[in-house]
Structure 1
Amino acid sequence: MAAIDCQGLLSMSAEEVVVTGAWMSGYFNGRADNTVLDTEMMPAYGAALGEYCENNPEALVMQAVKTLFDEAE
Structure 2
Amino acid sequence: MRKFAFQELMYAIVVASSYGLLLGLLYNDQSDYWIFFVWILVITLHIAGIWLIEYLETNKREKKKKDSID
TM-score (norm 2): 0.32
Greater percentage in helix:
2
Q: For the pair shown, which has the larger CA radius of gyration, 1 or 2? A: 2
Greater relative contact order (Cα 8 A, min sep 6): structure 1 or 2? 1
TM-score (norm 1): 0.31
